[in-house]
């Protein structure tokens, strides 16, 4: 099956710093999704990417779909304390009629005020 490597596993940063995290896949994906999960809650969709090379922003967040279709990255600019949480990447590929997302293991972000 597909494998997703998400890095880093965790990050400790100061408020105001920029953050970058990425995911790489052993297979080609045609959809990349980035989610944020607050403690004890379900993940919330941040950004969805559908085309290789696509660069999409959502406020201070920017994500890109890699040209090779095997990677994606997420940047957070000027971090604030409420950015704390676990960020997951997820990828999907077309193959058959069923839809299955492969999730990364997450990046735990801690922001020190």
CB neighbourhood size of 100 (10 A): 12
Listed ranges 11-19, 61-69, 77-85, 93-101: which one lies at the site for another protein (CB under 8 A):
93-101
Residue of 15, 16, 99, 110 interacting with another protein (CB under 8 A): 99
45 burial (CB, 10 Å; 0-12 / 13-18 / 19+) is: exposed
Closest CA to 24 of 66, 86, 61, 62: 66
Q: Which is nearer to another protein, 17 or 50 (CB)?
A: 50
Please report how close the Cβ of residue 76 comes to another protein at its closest, in angstroms: 20
Please report how close the Cβ of residue 100 comes to another protein at its closest, in angstroms: 6
Judged by CB under 8 A, the chain residues 22 through 41 that form the site for another protein are 30-31, 33, 40-41
Find out whether 35 and 23 touch, Cβ atoms under 8 Å.
no
Find out whether 52 and 67 touch, Cβ atoms under 8 Å.
yes
Q: How far is it, in rounded angstroms, from Cα 77 to Cα 103?
A: 23
Listed ranges 14-22, 42-50, 54-62, 69-77: which one lies at the site for another protein (CB under 8 A):
42-50
**Contacting residues toward another protein, per CB under 8 A:** 1, 4, 6, 9, 30-31, 33, 40-45, 48, 50, 88, 90, 92-94, 97-106
């Amino acid at each position: 099956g597909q494998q997703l490597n998400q890095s880093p596993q965790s990050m400790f940063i100061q408020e105001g710093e920029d953050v970058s995290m990425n995911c790489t896949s052993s297979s080609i994906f045609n959809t990349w999704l980035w989610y944020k999960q607050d403690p004890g809650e379900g993940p919330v969709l941040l950004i969805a990417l559908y085309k290789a090379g696509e660069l999409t922003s959502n406020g201070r967040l920017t994500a890109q779909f890699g040209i090779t279709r095997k990677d994606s990255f997420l940047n957070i600019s000027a971090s604030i304390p409420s950015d704390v949480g676990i960020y997951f990447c997820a990828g999907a590929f077309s193959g058959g009629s069923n839809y299955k997302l492969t999730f990364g293991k997450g990046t735990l972000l801690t922001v020190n005020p």
